[in-house]
């Protein structure tokens, strides 16, 4: 197979053609890992994958171990490693409709996610916007880099539940809560990158409550209001997108209500994060 690569922007994202993800061999997996480390987001059109092929493709990334999402069992896929991402006319919120990295609350967060699109909303919409966290860090001023380089922040798995449903998680449900450095080193390139996100990060340790809130809000706005960090993926049925979940954040735009969008995600676990 010979790959053709079309960048989405100079900073982030590429559309890749000439690859059948249901038949990746070791050489292709190595090439895709290299490309992902370089571009952060890879878009593949016209893929045909059942659950096993989807999981085999995901296992080429990270430690090879697949992530079992706490909500996967209830999501309807019937497989703990396959998370159904579905919004319909009955949905009160759509998963991923807000800037986040996937489960950054885990001690060893997801390294890469592979989302496969089954059904697109019939009147358009349903894009996903991605942002580069290496570029977000690179664009910060030196005094701010020095300040946040010494700090850690707490990421709480209950936060998306509170934000989505507007109430506390069901009693007895356990979500991870982990402290990570705010600036981490990318596991492949070693480049420093910003590791806080509105979806999971609740507070900065060792500073006052108001200082934490103001600092986090400044960093979130830097990410969300700087379009040059971002690329926008327009999906089609049978598109599969792989994102580097350490080097990027994303926002799945819920602009298609009351229509249905249905996809499935399989994610590969990575290692513990290291300060830059
Ligand atoms: C997610 O956050 O994993 C879902 C992304 C999407 O639906 O585009």
Write phi, then psi, for 53 (nearest 5 degrees). Answer: -65, -40
pLDDT tens per residue, range 100-140: 999 999 999 999 999 999 999 999 999 999 999 999 999 99
What's the rounded mean pLDDT across residues 258-268? 97
Query: Is the per-residue pLDDT at 72 higher than 90?
Result: no
Structure tokens at 212: 């934490």
Query: Is the per-residue pLDDT at 252 higher than 70?
Result: yes
The protein residue whose alpha carbon is closest to atom 3 in ligand 1 is 96
Q: Is residue 55 part of a domain?
A: yes
Q: Distance between CA atoms of 96 and 254, rounded to whole angstroms?
A: 9
- Bridge partners of 267, per DSSP, are 113
Residue 2: pLDDT band by 50, 70, 90 thresholds?
confident
Beta carbons within 10 angstroms of residue 52's beta carbon: 10
The protein residue whose alpha carbon is closest to atom 7 in ligand 1 is 252
Structure tokens at 106: 């885990």
Are the CB atoms for 265 and 118 separated by under 8 Å? no
Inter-CA distances, 31 with 4, 137, 193, 270, Å: 12, 26, 23, 18
Q: Is residue 80 part of a domain?
A: yes
201 lies in which domain range?
Answer: 4-269
Are the CB atoms for 204 and 14 separated by under 8 Å? no
Q: Is residue 9 part of a domain?
A: yes
Q: Is residue 276 part of a domain?
A: no
Q: Is residue 156 part of a domain?
A: yes
Residues having CB within 6 Å of any atom of ligand 1: 85, 95-96, 102, 113, 115, 128, 250, 252, 263, 265
- Minimum-distance ligand 1 atom for the alpha carbon of 233: 8
Which CATH number fits the domain that encloses residue 235?
3.60.130.10
Total tally of structural domains belonging to the chain: 1
Rounded to 5°, the CA angle 253-254-259 comes to 135
Q: How far is the CA of 185 from the centre of ligand 1 (A)?
A: 24
Q: Is residue 274 part of a domain?
A: no
The protein residue whose alpha carbon is closest to atom 4 in ligand 1 is 96
Look up 250 and say whether it is catalytic: yes
Catalytic residue selected from 155, 186, 198, 265:
265
Residue 1: pLDDT band by 50, 70, 90 thresholds?
low
Residue 168: pLDDT band by 50, 70, 90 thresholds?
confident
Q: Is residue 19 part of a domain?
A: yes
pLDDT tens per residue, range 10-41: 999 999 999 999 999 999 999 999 999 999 99
Q: Are strands 248-252 and 128-132 parallel, antiparallel or unpaired?
A: antiparallel
Q: How far is the CA of 85 from the centre of ligand 1 (A)?
A: 7
Are the CB atoms for 111 and 64 separated by under 8 Å? no
* Candidate of 96, 111, 231, 266 to mutate for ligand 1, largest count of ligand atoms within 8 Å of Cβ: 96
Consecutive H or E run containing 31: helix 26-39
Q: Is residue 275 part of a domain?
A: no
pLDDT tens per residue, range 196-232: 999 999 999 999 999 999 999 999 999 999 999 999 9
């Amino acid at each position: 197979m010979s790959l053709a690569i079309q960048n989405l922007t100079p900073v982030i994202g590429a559309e890749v053609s000439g690859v059948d993800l249901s038949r990746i061999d070791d050489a292709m997996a190595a090439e895709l890992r290299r490309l992902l480390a370089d571009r952060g987001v890879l878009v593949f059109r016209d893929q045909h994958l059942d659950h096993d092929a989807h999981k085999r493709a995901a296992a080429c990334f990270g430690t090879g171990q697949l992530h079992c999402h706490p909500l996967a069992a209830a999501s309807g896929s019937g497989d703990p490693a396959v998370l159904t991402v579905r919004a319909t006319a009955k949905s009160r919120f759509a998963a991923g409709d807000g800037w986040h990295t996937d489960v950054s609350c885990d001690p060893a967060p997801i390294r890469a996610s592979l989302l496969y699109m089954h059904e697109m909303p019939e009147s358009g919409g349903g894009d996903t916007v991605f942002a580069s966290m290496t570029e977000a860090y690179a664009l910060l001023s030196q005094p701010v880099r020095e300040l946040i380089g010494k700090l850690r922040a707490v990421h709480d798995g209950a936060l998306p539940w509170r934000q989505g449903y507007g109430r506390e998680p069901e009693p007895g449900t356990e979500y991870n809560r982990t402290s990570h450095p705010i600036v981490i080193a990318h596991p492949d390139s070693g480049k420093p990158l910003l590791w806080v996100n509105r979806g999971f990060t609740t507070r900065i340790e060792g500073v006052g409550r108001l200082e934490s809130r103001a600092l986090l809000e400044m960093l979130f706005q830097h990410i969300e209001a700087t379009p040059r960090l971002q690329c926008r993926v327009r999906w089609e049925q049978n598109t599969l997108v792989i994102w580097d979940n350490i080097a990027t954040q994303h926002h799945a735009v819920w602009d298609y209500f009351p229509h249905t969008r249905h996809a499935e995600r399989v994610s590969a676990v990575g290692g513990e994060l290291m300060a830059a």
